[in-house]
Structure 1
């Protein structure tokens, strides 16, 4: 994946998630997507290029950092609960899409049930025919 494609893919995925809202609260150099006023993804650039910062379960975050050199602790975020995704040979679009969706689901799970825009038990599952 080319560096320019990382943010394009992240925007595409985030824009499709229910109740996703885009903003630039930190200025034009960062894009933030929230669900019900809670951040689930940040798109920004660092010296080495574009990155996407997403929330992850601490155990998953640790395993992902060991498995993929392009996944590092969350830039300017809690290093235990957030990871940064950079472009590289091992980061493919399917993985990035999955991590963004997982981040969204984690944030939604922390919302009161009445505010959740999705049913966590069924969101993302394919109906059986």
Structure 2
């Protein structure tokens, strides 16, 4: 996957919004105002950062060279996914997991807006 494909996939998830923060070279994707995906446009290699449960993130880091602690974020919860090193289907799966994790932490009245969470 490339950065544009990551962007398109993230925006295909229900309720996702896109904005910039930390300067013009960062693109954030949110569900109900909570961030689930970061893209640093000026990264030396194409990457995206996803939020995962700490144990899962550590397990993935141990097994895949293309998944590392997020460079500019909390390294316990956020993981950089190097797009040239990880299969596109796995990238989509990780984005989806990040989305669902953030969605699961929202108040029930917000979660209920998304039919697959009912």
TM-score (norm 1): 0.82
RMSD: 1.7
Residue of structure 2 equivalent to 1:114: 109
Aligned-partner Cα distance in 2 for 1:13–1:44? 16
> Aligned residues, how many?
117
* Cα distance per residue 1:72-118 (max 9 Å; x no partner): 002221111110011334x0100000000000000000000101242
TM-score (norm 2): 0.89
Q: 30-39 or 71-80, which moves further after superposition?
A: 71-80
Contact 1:53-1:83 at 8 Å conserved across structures: yes
1:72-87 matched pairs, under 5 angstroms: 72-87=68-83
Residue of structure 1 equivalent to 2:51: 55
Q: Which has the larger radius of gyration?
A: 1
SS in 1 for 2:46: strand
Residue of structure 1 equivalent to 2:92: 97
Segments of 5+ residues of structure 2 without an aligned counterpart are none
